[in-house]
Amino acid sequence: MLGRTANGLFWMFRYLERAENTGRLLDAGLRMALTRDIQTAEEEWRSVISTLGLKAIYEASNDGYDGTSVWNFVLRDKANPANVREMMGAVRSNARTARTNLSSQAWEAVNENWMKLDKLLSRPVSQNGVGEVITRLRRTGTQVHGAMDGTMLRNEGYHFGRAGTFIERAESTARILDMKYYLLLPSLSYVGSSLDSGQWEQVLRSVAGASAYSWLNAGQIEARGIVQFLVLDDSFPRSLAFCRNALRTNLGELARLHGKEGSSNDLMREADSRISDLSVDAIFDQGLHQFLTDFMARNAAIGEAIANDYRFLA
């Protein structure tokens, strides 16, 4: 496969994941805004913007943090170069670049959803319309992954796409957790002060994990449980551990198909050694924020190493 095509697949799936996760983050914010007082809602919208790393450019063109302004900025505002409409455009143009290595079902799933979203996002999104956008973003992910799972050869292209998915997903979960890490400072829960369960539901919701968490923890929302779930639980498909396991498999398959390992495999092993057999206590001991910062840096480095190992760019 061409290096450029591999790059296209990798980024197509990264942007797809990013668009879907952004949609979830808005969904969680929306939920919060509908159920809490105005001040809390504003806080939530502020944290959505911060989590996405858009604070500076948002504040340059907006006065306050009301829902309509936030979701329009995130979804479609041209002042925000990382808006969801652009992301979906990037999904599609990368898919076009890699068209010969996508099954027609996967391509059509991308193209059809892009058409729908592009139309939905061509005009300002109202309070009544935002739900449809969020649902469509979720469906896009589901349909593209479904088509990929059901129709694509398990060749290198598949693994480049999956690697993109899991690098992006791990990054997203880590960011969301990092944004709220202060709420999890163990001192608070040790002294038994109750966590703001609404805040935590919001976090869990933004990684599609609210009901999974409840199943596992009988509804008990507490700091250790949440860190265990989002970082270490390898049965939850958006946890850091799950993403790492999946990425390890994809990188292993790529090395096998190519008959040799590259620097990405080395970095993967090194990153593994930092997380395997880790306990929640150990994470708190080194500091959650420090842990997450280290995780994200390694995650990004693996992504760059893949691009190098497989000649994504000239």
Partner 1 sequence: MTGVSPQNFDEMKDAGGETRPAYGDYCNWYDQQDAALLKRKDAEADESFRRTGITFNVYGEDEAEERLIPFDMVPRIITAPEWRRLTRGIEQRVRALNAFLYDLYHRQEIIRAGRLPERLLRGNEAWLQNMVGLAPPGGVYTHIVGIDLVRTGPDDFFVLEDNARTPSGVSYMLENRETMMAMFPDLFSKVAVEPVSNYPRRLARSLAACVPPKFEGGRKVNVAVLTPGIFNSAYFEHAFLADQMGAELVEGSDLRVVGGKVQMRTTRGFEPVDVLYRRVDDDYLDPLTFEPDSVLGVPGIMDVYRDGGITIANAPGTGVADDKAIYSFMPEIVEFYTGEKPLLPNVETWRCADKESLKYVLDNLEELVVKEVHGSGGYGMLIGPTATKKEIKAFRAKLEANPMNYIAQPTLSLSTCPIYTNKGLSPRHVDLRPFVLVSPNGIEITPGGLTRVALKRGSLVVNSSQGGGTKDTWVLKD
Residue reference for tokens 């505002």: 77
Residues 142-181 that bind partner 1 (CB under 8 A): 156
Q: Which window, 107-115, 183-191, 230-238, 244-252, contacts partner 1 (CB under 8 A)?
A: 107-115
Residue 165 tokens, joined: 């998915």
Q: Min. distance of Cβ 251 from partner 1 in angstroms?
A: 13
Contact criterion met (CB below 8 Å) for 176 and 182 = no
Using the rule CB under 8 A, give the single segment among 16-24, 106-114, 135-143, 283-291 that binds partner 1. 106-114
Nearest approach, Cβ of residue 221 and partner 1 (Å): 44
| Smallest gap from residue 29 Cβ to partner 1 (A) | 29
CA gap 142, 124 in Å, rounded:
25
How long is the chain? 314
Q: Is 106 left (phi over 0), alpha (psi -120 to 50) or beta?
A: alpha
Q: Which residues of 114-128 are buried (b: 16+ CB within 10 A; e: fewer)?
A: bebbeebbeeebeee
1 binds partner 1 (CB under 8 A): yes
Kindly tell me which residue out of 43, 66, 108, 178 binds partner 1, with binding defined by CB under 8 A: 108
CA distance 243 to 174: 11
Per the CB < 8 A criterion, the answer to whether 231 and 283 are in contact is yes
Angle between helices 197-206 and 210-217 (to 10 degrees): 120
Options 111-119, 193-201, 225-233, 237-245: segment touching partner 1 (CB under 8 A): 111-119
Nearest-Å Rg of the Cα atoms of the chain is 20
Backbone angles phi, psi at 208, to 5 degrees: 55, 35
Cβ pair 233, 163 in contact under 8 A? no
- Residue 313 phi, psi dihedral angles, 5° rounding: -125, 155
Residue 55 binds partner 1, judged by CB under 8 A: no
DSSP 8-state symbol, 193:
P
Give how many residues touch partner 1 by CB under 8 A: 22
Contact flags string 295-314 toward partner 1, x per CB under 8 A: ---------------xx--x
Residues 251-280 that bind partner 1 (CB under 8 A): 258
Mark 62-101 with x for binding to partner 1 (rule: CB under 8 A) and - for no binding.
Answer: -------------------------------x--xx-xx-
Q: Cβ 120 to partner 1, closest distance in Å?
A: 16
Shorter beta-carbon distance to partner 1: residue 46 or 99: 99
Of 2 and 297, which CB lies nearer to partner 1 in the complex structure? 2
**Does position 2 bind partner 1 by CB under 8 A?**
yes
Interacting residues toward partner 1 by CB under 8 A:
1-6, 93, 96-97, 99-100, 104, 107-108, 111-112, 115, 156, 258, 310-311, 314
